[in-house]
Amino acid sequence: MSRLVVSGLRAAVGGQEILRGVDLEVDSGQVHAVMGPNGSGKSTLAHVIMGRPGYDVLGGSVTLDEDELLALPTWKRAQAGLFLALQYPTEVPGVPLEDALAEALRARDDGEAVDVHRRLADEAARVGLDARFLARPLNVDFSGGEKKRNETVQLGVLRPKIALLDELDSGLDIDALRAVSRRVEQETKETNLGVLVITHYSRILRELQPDKVSVLRKGRIVATGGPDLADELERTGYAGYEDDEGETPPAPSAANADPFADPLL
Amino acid sequence: MSTLTPDLAARLPGPEWMQARRAAAVERFDDVGMPTEAEEIWRYSRISELDLDAFAPVLDDQDRGVPPDAVPAIETVGERSGLVVTRNGRVAHVELAPTAGAGAGVEIGDVFDADDGDGLLGSVAPSSTDAFTELSTAFAPGGALVRVPAGVIVRDPIVVVHWVDADGGAVFPRTVVVLGEDAEATVIERYQSPDVAAFVDPVIELDVADAGRLHYASVQDFGPRVWQTGYQATRVGRDAHLTSIAVALGGDYARLRTDARLQGQGATSQLMALYFGSDSTMLDFRTLQDHAAPQTTSDLLFKGAVADTAKGVYSGLIRVRKEARGTSAFQTNRNLVLSEGAGAESVPNLEIETNDVRCSHASAVGPIDDEQRYYLESRGVPPEVAERLIVLGFFSQVLERLPSSALAGRLRERMATRLGAEA
């Protein structure tokens, strides 16, 4: 049984405070969805929890089974049992997936010998990723759907305690969405994976049933409820969750017209 | 220039024609004098630090045979058709596998022993190219010759090892590769030394006749006190094809100038390099893609990484002559700078005298991409391992083109070790 606890998390990018006191919890075996409009801080939340450079943590804590993660470098957070499926998985030229995962597993101190090659093949089959992608350089010339299936393959091989899925549904057709959702769902049962799903739309939540839904708005969780909260958001949008200060969210710039794009990139 | 005198040159071995050339070359060298960084082609180099007086030509004829320490460099390549080993520039060992076409007239040996050696030596790399090619003419005690007659295909690589072990030596290795019409061969050269202080001045001539196909690779893995001023000249005939890959890992200052002339219509060349400098090594590359005939194609990809306080220099020119209509020429140089004290220069140039061309050049110098590093670290890969994977990944594009996969694997291991992997 593991638990990820985010409390009072505040973080800034380039001097602008994006997370303004986020509190949430994810337990093993549970799917917790964090929904929010563009600019609410969703991707920032995922990256600050994972420790991406360029974000300034101003306060609060993130613990996994009572270990403080904010004090650890990214790779140690991963070794502690955290996994982040990126919204835009990075292309790493010349580095095969198997090499990267073998090194990640080798660096673990549990001494468990893993047949990476075999596990990769199994996981690829489970999410319908053609095995030839496993030998290619990471994400290079992968389609959007292949990249997301590949993230799910890695999750299956690494078997983290808690997975953060940042807009896993963006760029996915319905078949791919079903395949990756089903695989994540299985992990919550097979390995008791806890999942934090970060998403703008409720589409993925029809495939990946959340136990808990929270609404992120201007860097704070403004509501938390059961799965019905996602349905309500589907009908009414985020308009009902204007926060008290009544600030207008930052307007997307012309160069950043993609509605799914992280406004900070 | 007290050590590199006409008297000394006259005491070196070689046929009569060579003796006449040596005296003339020493004289021209004295006229030309040593280059300086003020010349564009030596810009960014450390050539003024070179003290030739500290090195002397190797006069005594050492033991023949393969130096035991050179054996691994030979074995790594795997199956081979033939072998030439030079020791401090002298041809010390020659072998040709019976299956490799000795009967077909494939010739491996010392260029000094060839009947037409006078015509071969310097025919692609003229002695007058610069001060160092003059020095090579004056002091080279021999040269590896690989000649494949027209129409003959040599399947496995021919290996040439230049072993330098004379401490304080001025060493002048030479290589002459001649492919006849429609012939095909692979030549892998290894430049190796133990940790000696030496000045090494290699001159490599690659001559590919019409419709020939030469796959050439050189690996420079000298010790940290070696100075190299290398010159590789190639001539590619009509519809002929050259692939050339230069790997550079060692030396104090190691330069390789590559002039690739596309001489016949429809000739193509692919020039690649992989260079990885560490400690205080400077690796210095100058290239010329010289298009002298119509419908010629050249594609260049040089990839370098520098760590510690190492320096990389790349300066390349694409020259398209007036007669070279319908030319395609591409040039890419990318450099990874792995530490604050390291640095790289990248200078691409074009000189185009006709309109009917497709040309592009790209160059980049920068650190490891933060996004790539973060991505790997977010999987649980430790930072130093992530860096190693990314650098090896960066080089894989060139490594996988090497004509020996065993050699590629060994070089990958060498670089991984340098990047902190356990050997």
Confidence of residue A237 (pLDDT cuts 50, 70, 90): confident
List the Cα angle A254/A257/A258 in 5-degree steps. Answer: 160
Say if residue A248's pLDDT is above 50: no
Q: Any idea where the domains of chain B sit in the sequence?
A: 6-383, 384-423
At residue B272, does pLDDT exceed 90? yes
* Arithmetic mean of pLDDT over chain A: 88
Q: For residue A120, is it within any domain?
A: yes
Beta strands in B172-320 (DSSP E): 174-179, 184-192, 198-200, 203-208, 213-221, 226-236, 241-248, 253-262, 268-277, 282-291, 297-306, 311-320
CB contact under 8 A, A103 and B381: yes
| B394 in reach of chain A (CB within 8 A) | yes
Give B60-70 pLDDT, tens digit per residue: 776 788 999 99
B49 in contact with A, Cβ within 8 Å: no
Average pLDDT over residues B147-172: 96
pLDDT of residue A170: 82
Inspect the interface and report whether the beta carbons of B383 and A73 lie closer than 8 Å.
Answer: yes
The whole-angstrom distance between A73's CA and the closest CA on chain B is 9
Do residues B125 and B231 make contact, with C-beta atoms less than 8 angstroms apart? yes
The answer to which of A170-179, B155-164, B291-300, B320-329 has the lowest mean pLDDT is A170-179
| Of residues B1 and B210, more confidently modeled | B210
Instruction: Evaluate whether residue A257 is within a structural domain.
Output: no
By C-alpha distance, the chain A residue nearest B380 is A75
- Specify whether the CB–CB gap between A155 and A126 falls below 8 A: no
pLDDT of residue A239: 77
- Chain B residue whose CA is closest to A51: B378
pLDDT higher than 50, residue A259: no
B218: exposed, middle or buried (Cβ count in 10 Å: 0-12, 13-18, 19+): buried
**A253, part of any domain:** no
Among chain A residues, CA nearest to B382: A75
pLDDT score at A58: 97
- Do residue A86 and residue B375 have CB atoms under 8 angstroms apart? yes
- pLDDT over 90 (residue B48): yes
Q: Which residues of B are less than 8 Å from A100 in CB distance?
A: 376, 379, 381, 389
State how far the Cα of B402 lies from the Cα of B216, in Å rounded to an integer.
9
Asked if the model's pLDDT at residue B274 lies above 80, the reply is yes
Instruction: Please say if the pLDDT value at position B72 is more than 70.
Output: yes
Residue A68: give its domain's CATH number: 3.40.50.300
Q: Is residue A255 a part of any domain in this protein?
A: no
Classify residue A30: in a domain, yes or no. Answer: yes
Report yes or no on A254 lying in a domain: no
Q: What is the DSSP string of B86-132?
A: EETTEEEEEEE-GGGSTTTT-EEEEGGGSTTHHHHTTSSS-GGGSHH
Residue B328: pLDDT above 90? yes
Q: Which of B274, B375, B399 to mutate to test the interface with A (most CBs of A within 10 A)?
A: B375
Please tell me the distance in Å from A85's CA to the nearest CA on chain B: 9
Read off the pLDDT band of B421 (50, 70, 90): confident
Across the interface, of A73, A91, A158, the residue whose CB is closest to B379 is A158
Average pLDDT for A171-175: 85
Residue A157 contacts B where some CB pair is shorter than 8 Å: no
Whether residues B382 and A75 touch (CB distance < 8 A) is answered with yes
- Residues ≥6 apart with Cβ < 8 Å to B408: B399, B400, B402
User: At a CB cut-off of 8 Å and minimum separation 6, what does A238 contact?
Assistant: A36, A37, A40, A215, A217
Range of the domain at A33: 3-245
Classify residue A261: in a domain, yes or no.
Answer: no
Q: pLDDT confidence of B2, banded at 50, 70, 90?
A: low
Residue A257 pLDDT > 50: no
Distances (CA, A) of B27 to B48, B169, B224, B307: 21, 21, 32, 41
Please name the residues between 172 and 231 in chain A that touch chain B, using a CB distance below 8 Å: none
With a cut of 80, say whether residue A112 has pLDDT above it.
no
- Domain count for chain A, please give it: 1
Q: Is A92 on the interface with B (CB under 8 A)?
A: yes
- Please state which of the ranges A81-95, A108-122, A251-265 shows the lowest mean pLDDT: A251-265
pLDDT, one tens digit per residue, over A134-144 is 989 999 999 98
Give the contacts of B249 (CB within 8 A, at least 6 positions apart): B219, B220, B221, B275, B276, B277, B411, B414, B415
CA–CA min distance B141, chain A (Å): 43
DSSP annotation of A251 reads P
**Nearest-CB residue to A79 (from B372, B380, B393):** B380
Is position A92 within any domain?
Answer: yes
What is the tens place of the pLDDT at every residue in B368-405?
A: 999 999 999 999 999 999 999 999 999 999 999 999 99
Instruction: Label residue A51 by pLDDT band (50, 70, 90).
Output: very high
DSSP states along A5-25 = EEEEEEEEETTEEEEEEEEEE
Q: Name residues whose C-beta falls within 8 Å of residue B119's C-beta, 6 or more positions apart in sequence.
A: none
